[in-house]
Amino acid sequence: MIKQLKNSKKLSLIFLSSLLFLTACDSQSSSTEINTSQTVLNESVEKTQDTNKETLKEDTMNKSKLLSAEALQALEDSDQYRWLEEVQGEKALAWVEEKNKASLGYLEALPKHAELSAKNLAAYDSKERIAYPSFSGDYVYNFWKDETHTRGISRRTSLKDYLTGNPKWETVIDIDAISKVENKNWVYKGSSCLYPEYTRCILNLSDGGTDAVVRREYDLNTQKFVDGGFVLPESKGSIAWLDKDTLMVGIDFGPESMTDSGYPKITKLWKRGTDISEATTIFTGEQTDVGVWPFVGNTPEGQYAFISRSTSFYTGEVHYLKDGNLTKLDLPEDIEFDGIFKDQMMLQLKSDWEVGGQNLNQGALVSIGFENFLSGKRNFTVVREPTERSSIAGTSTTQDFLFVNVLNNVRSELYKYTYAHGSWTSELVSTPELGTLSVVAANDKANDFFYTYNGFLSPTTMYYVDDAGKQNKIKSLPDFFDASKYKVEQFESTSKDGTQIPYFMISAKDIKLDGKNPTLMYGYGGFEVSIRPGYKSTVGIDWLEQGGVYVSTNIRGGGEFGPKWHQSALNEKRPRAFEDFISIAEDLIERKVTSPKHLGIDGRSNGGLLVGAIYTMRPDLFNAAVCGVPLLDMKRYNKLLAGASWMAEYGDPDIAEEWDFIKDYSPYHNLKKDKEYPKVFFYTSTKDDRVHPGHARKMVALMEEYGHDYYYYENTEGGHAGSSNNKQTAHLNALIYTYLIDQLMPKSTE
Distance CA 393, CA 406 (A): 5
Residue 320: strand pairing partners: 306, 327
Q: Which of 605, 666, 685, 723 is catalytic?
A: 605
Distance CA 355, CA 378 (A): 7
344-to-66, 299, 365, 425 alpha-carbon distances in Å: 44, 11, 12, 14
Distance CA 696, CA 722 (A): 13
- Chain length of the chain: 750
Q: Which of 59, 53, 56 is nearest to 332 (CA)?
A: 53
Does the annotation count 720 as an active-site position?
Answer: yes
Distance CA 601, CA 675 (A): 19
CB burial string 658-691: b at 16+ within 10 A, e below: bbebbeebbbbbbbeeeeebbebbbbbbbbbbbb
Q: Are residues 281 and 267 in contact, defined by beta-carbon separation less than 8 angstroms?
A: yes
Distance CA 256, CA 263 (A): 11
Distance CA 317, CA 334 (A): 9
**N-terminal to C-terminal alpha carbon distance within the chain:** 60
Q: Which of 490, 486, 449, 444 is nearest to 467 (CA)?
A: 449
Signed CA dihedral, 506, 508, 513, 517: sign only: negative
Distance CA 392, CA 395 (A): 8
Q: If residue 472 lies in a helix (H) or strand (E), which one and from where to where?
A: strand 471-476
Backbone angles phi, psi at 196, to 5 degrees: -100, -10
Does the annotation count 566 as an active-site position?
Answer: no
Strands 336-341 and 325-328: unpaired
141-to-19, 32, 149, 426, 600 alpha-carbon distances in Å: 24, 16, 16, 30, 40
Q: Which of 113, 598, 695, 720 is catalytic?
A: 720
Residues serving a catalytic function are 605, 720
